[in-house]
Chain A
Amino acid sequence: MYAYTDFDRDFLAERNAQFRAQVERRIDGSLTEDEFKPLRLMNGLYLQLHAYMLRVAIPYGTLNAGQMRQLAMIADRWDKGYGHFTTRQNIQYNWPQLRDVPDMLDALGEVGMHAIQTSGNTIRNVTADHFAGAAAEEVADPRPVAELIRQWSTDHPEFQFLPRKFKVAVTGSDQDRAVTAAHDIGLRLVERHGRLGATVLVGGGLGRTPMIGKVLSDYVALDDLLPYLEAVVAVYNLLGRRDNKYKARIKITVHENGIEEIRRLVDAEFAPRKAAFNGADMALLDKIKADFAAPDFTPGAGDFQAHYTDDPVFRSFVDTNTVAHKHRDYAILTVSLKAHGATPGDATSDQMRVLADLAETYAHDELRISHEQNVILPHMPKRHLRAVFDALSQAGLGTANIGLASDIIACPGMDYCALATARSIPVAQEIATRFEELKLEHAVGPLKIKISGCINACGHHHVGHIGILGLDRAGVENYQITLGGDGGPDAVIGERAGPGFAYDEVVDAVERLVRAYLDLRDHADETFLDTYKRLGATPFKAALYPEVKAHAA
């Protein structure tokens, strides 16, 4: 893992001291809220529906046991004993008090964490594939590149007041678990003639105007990457709309100007900027890469196979929650934060400590947070899987539902978020509970249900196989369903199915969709998405709106 230097630590301490003084000045009345708001947002502090919310970055989703324990300590000491892991590899504390936030930031700084640029119109926390460094099929570990981008973008003086927020994601695998096509810039690491570089996508994003990113460059050599990114953001900074916040994201800039014109401008900007880098960034990247060296993998699977054969519960957990690791005696283990009926993405401080202990004791002291709001032990020796499963089960973390109907992405929605127009969490809870009662989800197989409580689409509903968008229709919660979305390498925006459903109708509607799929699929291995692609929306719409079908007949 990247180890913070003295420079990094001093930077954080100084920044936190600055914010402490700003908080004091707000409390004593020297600063108005209008003056204070941009300052608190620069430090990740929002005011939500019922309380303040502190959003803490977990860069590229990577953290160690010490950091996880500190997150747990913060949850206990200054919050209500839990934290919410988000779709952007952050953790959010939902109940901090204003006076305590500087102490929380200092506590984060002690373990090399912070809340800088988790808000505001700037380059946000850089996200990456949560299986980075472990996936069998990976071209390269994307985290050193993500860390380089983090260092370049943090407090970058040119990019603190962009037209709107700006999100960058990096993947090193053609599986694209980072949903790069739905980011302002998506980077897909590729190798050409033995040299690592990146395919650069630009102008993707969900929200009010969902768009899939376009390829700006098929290949940018790694040593050109930072000046190239700088050119892209500089062009956006100049061209991006500041007259209308709904048209301010780079996806609109690309749409209005055309990808060819953006490419021409970026290329023109790139040439002079390239000269300024002088290779210093590549020397830094080499140093960063060393910090991400793979651990020493210990061969031998112990009695894993015997447990796997003898215990169907353990076998189900392994089959559902692990995938192949690049070392044959290891697995990548995803720990579900979606126990049936639980709030997606929430972990109690006790659960955080269990995860930290397990990572430290068994799994090379590494944890990841996924954009799907789960926690990953990326380097899990198979010989320890049984012990880890037992410990997880005791802590309420043994749910075998990764990738299934109850592994739902859900934004905080109107239970917390000031922007939301409807609730997401209880809908997710009820869908998960329903599928648990029906005992259907293993038969259904891979199914991504994603829920957003407003048009900003933090719950990624546009790329859900079944997407649910909560809206306010004449003072009543209403849920619109989209079908056929996909956040994978060939990302697709889902199609709106038709009129929305009332709060008490939406869970039944989802069940009808899933039952229709079970009737329609060719064979048990044909996934919901494959069936949808084969048959189109019509039979699913018929299941959603049976009264329309009857009327038409």
Chain B
Amino acid sequence: MSRQFTPKVVTANALLEGDVVYLTKQGHWTRQHAEADLIEDAVTAEIRLLEAQALAHEVVGPYLADAVAGKNGPEPVHFREAFRTRGPSNYAHGKQPV
């Protein structure tokens, strides 16, 4: 039996800066996790990942990451993805509020 699908976002790193980016519903890349398209089914997830891979001139290494619906948009599930939304914990370099 296949595993039950859990919601996902498409994420990658921007080609020029290396920043963490997320695919929006409109097919653009955003730096904000909350603006990502939260994908609710496996077929759509596969299609959206293929779309992202076709944008290889803009990003590097797109993949699907688990997420859940939050108050202001999708939120990461795993701590690794949570760190990717805000940058390193030792400096305010990245997306932490300054």
Q: Which residues of A contact B (CB under 8 A)?
A: 26-27, 29, 32-33, 47-52, 80, 94-95, 97-99, 343, 346, 414-416, 423, 425-426, 429, 472, 475-477
Contacts and interface: CB of A to CB of B under 8 A. Distances in A.
A50 B88 contact: yes
A371 B56 CA distance: 37
Nearest to B86: A50
Contacts of B77: 475
Interface stretch (B12-20, B22-30, B39-47): B12-20
Contacts of B90: 343, 346, 415, 425-426, 429
B83 interface: yes
7 contacts: A26-B15, A48-B18, A49-B20, A52-B18, A98-B15, A416-B88, A423-B83
Contacts of B60: 33, 47
Contacts of A346: 90
A50 B19 contact: yes
B87 A50 contact: yes
Contact of B13 (A47, A414, A423, A472): A47
Given A95-B93, A343-B90, A429-B90, A414 B80 contact: yes
B57 to A, nearest CB: 5
B16 A415 contact: no
Nearest to A343: B90
Tell me the dominant secondary structure on chain B's binding face: loop
A423 B20 CA distance: 18
Contacts of A49: 20, 80, 83-84
B71 interface: no
B89 interface: yes
Contacts of A426: 89-90
Contacts of A429: 90
Interface in B52-81: 56-57, 60-61, 77-80
Closest A-B pairs by Cβ, 9 of them? A415-B88, A51-B18, A52-B18, A29-B57, A343-B90, A425-B90, A426-B89, A98-B16, A33-B60
B94 A50 contact: yes
Contact of A27 (B13, B16, B84, B87): B16
A33 B88 contact: no
Contacts of B87: 50
Contact of A475 (B16, B78, B83): B78
Contacts of B78: 475
Q: Which of B60, B78, B87, B88 has the most CB of A within 10 A?
A: B88
Contacts of B84: 49-50
Q: Size class of B's contact patch?
A: 20 to 34
Nearest to B15: A98
A51 B89 contact: no
Contact of B16 (A97, A414, A416): A97
Given A27-B16, A48-B18, 18 more contacts: A26-B15, A33-B56, A47-B60, A47-B61, A50-B87, A50-B88, A51-B19, A52-B18, A80-B93, A97-B16, A97-B17, A99-B16, A346-B90, A415-B89, A415-B90, A423-B83, A475-B77, A475-B78
A241 to B, nearest CB: 26
A47 B57 contact: no
B79 A97 contact: no
Contact of B89 (A32, A80, A99, A423): A423
Nearest to A425: B90
B56 A50 contact: no
Nearest to A96: B18
B79 A425 contact: no
A292 to B, nearest CB: 36
Given A47-B18, A98-B18, A415 B79 contact: no
A136 B91 CA distance: 40
Contacts of A94: 88, 93
Nearest to B83: A414
Q: Which of B78, B89, B90 has the most CB of A within 10 A?
A: B90
Nearest to A420: B80
Given A49-B83, A423-B89, A27 B15 contact: yes
A425 B93 CA distance: 14
B57 A97 contact: no
